Amino acid sequence: MSDNLPAIPGGDAGSSSDNLPAIPGMGSGASSDNGFLALSFRTAALASAALILKEGMHLLRAHMGRNAAKAARLSEMCDAAEVEPQFTAMILDASAALTRVAEASGEMTDTADTVESDARGFNSAHDQEYRGVYEAVNGSGVQQAKPGFYQRTGRRR
């Protein structure tokens, strides 16, 4: 891990999964990592992270837009005050760069919105499709085969 990153309280630097709460169906084996609750948790976490990103990008877009407008106004004032043209041009270039950042953050907002919507849609579809199976398996009290046990191997007799 980089020395520039802050330490996560209570976490081990070796594994990011140590910071996650214990979830039934999320074990150390590869087959249990895609359990019903684990997948639901992951897609909900993805949707939540996308929402946080979207909100941050809205704030960044507004902030950069204000700064771009202020820089453009400053450039006009410098031109009116007959400041050296090279400095006025530099301020105008900074305004244009800030405008590009504002536009790019708007595109990032749209992308984060799409990711959030898709993650929530996937989570809803996944829940609708598999919630009944999950409830039946956990309600039966009978040990179930591991995921993948009933998959076809491609050979038939």
Which tens digit of pLDDT belongs to each residue from 12-47?
A: 444 444 444 454 544 444 445 668 888 889 999 999
Return the pLDDT at 113. Answer: 94
pTM of this structure: 0.62
Instruction: For residues 149 and 30, give the distance between their C-alpha atoms in angstroms, rounded to a whole number.
Output: 13
Return the pLDDT at 146. Answer: 74
Q: How many CB atoms within 10 Å of residue 119? A: 20
Tokens of 128: 């609708």
Instruction: For residues 149 and 102, give the distance between their C-alpha atoms in angstroms, rounded to a whole number.
Output: 51
Q: How many CB atoms within 10 Å of residue 28? A: 7
Contact criterion met (CB below 8 Å) for 64 and 101:
yes
pLDDT over 50 (residue 3): no
Tokens of 52: 């946080």
Return the pLDDT at 49. Answer: 94
pLDDT averaged over the chain? 80
- How do residues 140-153 score in pLDDT, each as one tens digit? 777 777 767 777 66
pLDDT over 50 (residue 92): yes
Tokens of 16: 């990011």
